[in-house]
Amino acid sequence: MRAALEAKRRHADVALISKVHPVRSHSVAAQGGINAPLSAGDSWESHAFDTVKGSDYLGDQDAIEFLSREAAQAVVDLENMGVAFHRGPEGKLAPRNFGGASQARTYFVGAITGHAILHVMFEQLLKAGVKIYEEWFVTHLAIEGGFAAGLVAQEMLTGKFHLIRAKAIILCTGGCGRVYEPSTNALICTGDGMSLAWRAGAPLMDMEMVQYHPTTLANNGALMTEGARGDGAQLRNALGDRFMIKYAPNKIDLASRDVVSRAAQTEIDAGRGVDDGLGGKTCVYLDCTHLDRDFILERLGEIYELALQFANVDITRQPCPVRPGMHYQMGGIKTDLDGATRIPGLYAAGECACVSVHGGNRLGANSLLDTVIFGHRAGAHAAEFARQVDFRPLSEGVVMESERRAQAVLSRPANGESIAKIRLDLGRTMHQHAGVWREVKGLQTALNTLYTLKERYQKAPVQDKGKVFNTNLVFHWELGYMLDSAETILLSAIHRTESRGAHYRTDYPERDDQRWLKHILVGYRPDGAPTIEYLPVTLTRWKPEPRVY
Amino acid sequence: MRYAWYPGCVSQGGCPELYASMVKVCSALGIELEELKGAACTGAGVLTERNPELADTLNARTFALAEQVGAPVLTNCSTCQGVMSQANAKLKADPKYLARVNQHLAPEGLEYKGTTEVRHLLWALVEDYGLDNFKAKVQRPLTGLKAAPFYGCYILRPTKVLGLDEKPARSRYLEMLIAACGADPVDYDGKFKCCGFPILTLNEKNSVNMVGTHTLDAKAHGAHCLVTPCPLCHLNLDGFQPKAAGLKGQQINMPILHLPQLLGLALGLSAKELRLNHHIMSTKAVMEMVNA
Amino acid sequence: MQVTYRIKRFDPEVDKTPRFQDFTLQVGENDSVLDGMIKIREEQDGSLALRCSCRAAICGSCAMRVNGEPRLMCKTRIRDAAPEGLVKVEPMGNLPVVKDLVVDMGPFWQKVRAVKPWLEPPAAKPEREYLAPNEAMREVVGVVACIMCGACVSDCTVWEVDPNFLGPAALAKAYRFVADPRNTDNDERLKSLTEYTGIWDCTHCFYCVQACPKDVAPMERILALRREAIKHGYTDHNGVRHSDSFAQSVKDSGSLNEGRLAVETQGYLNLPALIGLAPVGLRALKAGKMPSPLHHKRPGASQVKRIFNELEKEEKTT
Q: Give the ipTM of the model, two decimals please.
A: 0.94
Within 8 A of C243 by CB-CB distance, chain B residues are 46, 49-50
Using CB atoms, list chains with 3+ pairs below 8 Å to chain A.
C
Q: Tell me the average pLDDT across B70-85.
A: 98
Within 8 A of C101 by CB-CB distance, chain A residues are none
Q: Tell me the average pLDDT across A296-305.
A: 90
Percent of the residues in chain C that have a pLDDT greater than 70, as a whole number: 98
Q: Tell me the average pLDDT across A512-529.
A: 96
pLDDT of res. C161: 96
Sign of torsion over alpha carbons B276, B277, B280, B285: positive
Interface test with C, best of B46, B81, B209 (most C CBs within 10 A): B46
Q: Which residues contact C272 (CB under 8 A, 6 or more apart)?
A: none
Same structural domain, B171 and B83: no
B278: nearest CB among C207, C287, C299: C287
Within 8 A of B156 by CB-CB distance, chain C residues are 206
Shortest CA gap C128–chain B (Å)? 37
Query: Does residue A265 fall inside a structural domain?
Result: yes
CB contact under 8 A, C307 and B54: yes
With contact defined as beta carbons under 8 Å apart, do B7 and B76 qualify? yes
Query: Does residue B125 fall inside a structural domain?
Result: no
Residue A313, domain extent = 214-323
Res. A516 pLDDT band, cuts 50 70 90: very high
Q: Does B188 touch chain C (CB under 8 A)?
A: no
pLDDT of res. C62: 98
| C-alpha distance from residue B179 to each of A483, B186, B191, B260 (Å) | 61, 10, 16, 14
Whichever domain contains B282, its CATH number is: 3.40.50.11810
pLDDT of res. C293: 64
Q: Tell me the average pLDDT across B262-270.
A: 98
Same structural domain, B156 and B274: yes
First-to-final CA distance of chain A? 35
Q: Does C225 touch chain B (CB under 8 A)?
A: no
Q: How far is CA A522 from the centre of its chain?
A: 18
3-state secondary structure of A519: strand
Query: Does residue A229 fall inside a structural domain?
Result: yes
pLDDT of res. C318: 67
Q: Does C150 touch chain B (CB under 8 A)?
A: no
Within 8 A of B15 by CB-CB distance, chain C residues are 289
Shortest CA gap C162–chain A (Å)? 25
Query: Does residue B171 fall inside a structural domain?
Result: yes
Query: Does residue B126 fall inside a structural domain?
Result: no
Distance CA A536, CA A60 (A): 9
CB contact under 8 A, A92 and C131: yes
With contact defined as beta carbons under 8 Å apart, do A366 and A51 qualify? yes
Model confidence over B4-42: pLDDT tens digits?
A: 999 999 999 999 999 999 999 999 999 999 999 999 999
Q: Tell me the average pLDDT across B229-250.
A: 97
B280: nearest CB among C206, C265, C284: C284
Chains A and C, touching by 3 or more CB pairs within 8 angstroms: yes
Q: Does B135 touch chain C (CB under 8 A)?
A: no
Same structural domain, B111 and B144: no
Whichever domain contains A252, its CATH number is: 3.90.700.10
| CA-CA-CA-CA dihedral for B243, B245, B249, B250, to nearest 10 | -160
DSSP structural state of residue B251:
-
- The amino acid that residue C104 corresponds to is D
DSSP C14-28: T-SS-EEEEEEEE--
CB contact under 8 A, A219 and C30: yes
pLDDT of res. B137: 98
Q: Tell me the average pLDDT across C200-228.
A: 96
Instruction: Count Cβ atoms below 10 Å from residue A509 Cβ, excluding itself.
Output: 11
3-state secondary structure of B104: helix
pLDDT of res. C281: 79
Query: Does residue A379 fall inside a structural domain?
Result: no
Same structural domain, B49 and B183: no
Model confidence over A441-466: pLDDT tens digits?
A: 999 999 999 999 999 999 999 999 99
Query: How many domains does the structure of chain A reveal?
Result: 1
Distance CA C291, CA C281 (A): 9
Kind and range of the H or E run holding A234: strand A234-236
pLDDT of res. C87: 98
Distance CA B143, CA B130 (A): 21
Q: Does C77 touch chain A (CB under 8 A)?
A: yes
Q: Does C183 touch chain B (CB under 8 A)?
A: no
Residue B190, domain extent = 140-289
Q: Which residue has the higher pLDDT, C268 or B206?
A: B206
- Answer whether residue B176 shows pLDDT above 90: yes
Q: Nearest chain C residue to B109 by CA: give it.
A: C303
| C-alpha distance from residue C131 to each of A106, A302, C137, C143 (Å) | 18, 26, 10, 20
Distance CA C305, CA B54 (A): 11
- Answer whether residue C273 shows pLDDT above 80: no
Whichever domain contains B75, its CATH number is: 1.20.1050.140
With contact defined as beta carbons under 8 Å apart, do A187 and C55 qualify? yes
Distance CA B63, CA B92 (A): 11
Domain coordinates of chain C in residue numbers?
2-103, 106-231, 238-317
Closest by Cα among B230, B256, B260, B259 to B21? B260
pLDDT of res. C283: 84
Distance CA A248, CA A225 (A): 19
pLDDT of res. B76: 98
Query: Does residue B235 fall inside a structural domain?
Result: yes
Query: Does residue A246 fall inside a structural domain?
Result: yes
Q: Does C314 touch chain A (CB under 8 A)?
A: no
- Answer whether residue C297 shows pLDDT above 90: no
Catalytically active residues of A, by annotation? 213, 229
CB contact under 8 A, C289 and B280: yes
Query: How many domains does the structure of chain B reveal?
Result: 2
C30: nearest CB among A312, A421, A469: A312
Model confidence over A48-106: pLDDT tens digits?
A: 999 999 999 999 999 999 999 999 999 999 999 999 999 999 999 999 999 899 999 99
Chains A and B, touching by 3 or more CB pairs within 8 angstroms: no
**Span C106-231 CATH architecture:** Orthogonal Bundle (1.10)
With contact defined as beta carbons under 8 Å apart, do A399 and A152 qualify? yes
Distance CA B89, CA C88 (A): 32
Per-residue 3-state assignment (H helix, E strand, C coil) for A92-147: CECCECCCCCCCCCEECCCCCHHHHHHHHHHHHHHHHCCEEEECEEEEEEEEECCE
pLDDT of res. A79: 98
- Answer whether residue C294 shows pLDDT above 70: no
Distance CA B176, CA C275 (A): 43
Percent of the residues in chain A that have a pLDDT greater than 70, as a whole number: 100
pLDDT of res. C256: 87
Distance CA C163, CA C142 (A): 26
Distance CA A535, CA C19 (A): 58
Determine the Cα angle at A497 with ends A491 and A502, to 5°.
80
Q: What count of CB pairs under 8 Å joins B to C?
A: 179
Query: Does residue A302 fall inside a structural domain?
Result: yes
| C-alpha distance from residue A218 to each of A183, A215, A280, B40, C79 (Å) | 10, 9, 10, 54, 18
- The backbone region for A11, taken as left when phi is positive above 0, alpha when psi lies in -120 to 50, beta otherwise, is left
Closest by Cα among C132, C129, C148 to C140? C132
Q: Does C75 touch chain A (CB under 8 A)?
A: yes
| C-alpha distance from residue B103 to each of A9, B61, C309 (Å) | 58, 11, 14
C243: nearest CB among B49, B205, B206: B49
Within 8 A of C246 by CB-CB distance, chain B residues are 44, 46-47
Q: Tell me the average pLDDT across C27-56.
A: 95
Closest by Cα among A385, A353, A384 to A371? A353
- Answer whether residue C261 shows pLDDT above 90: no
The bridge status of strand A131-134 relative to strand A15-18 is parallel
Q: Does C57 touch chain A (CB under 8 A)?
A: yes
Within 8 A of C28 by CB-CB distance, chain A residues are 219, 278
Res. C279 pLDDT band, cuts 50 70 90: confident
Q: Which CATH superfamily is domain C2-103 in?
A: Beta-grasp domain (3.10.20.30)
Global pTM value: 0.95
3-state secondary structure of B263: helix
Distance CA A362, CA C27 (A): 35
With contact defined as beta carbons under 8 Å apart, do A142 and A398 qualify? yes
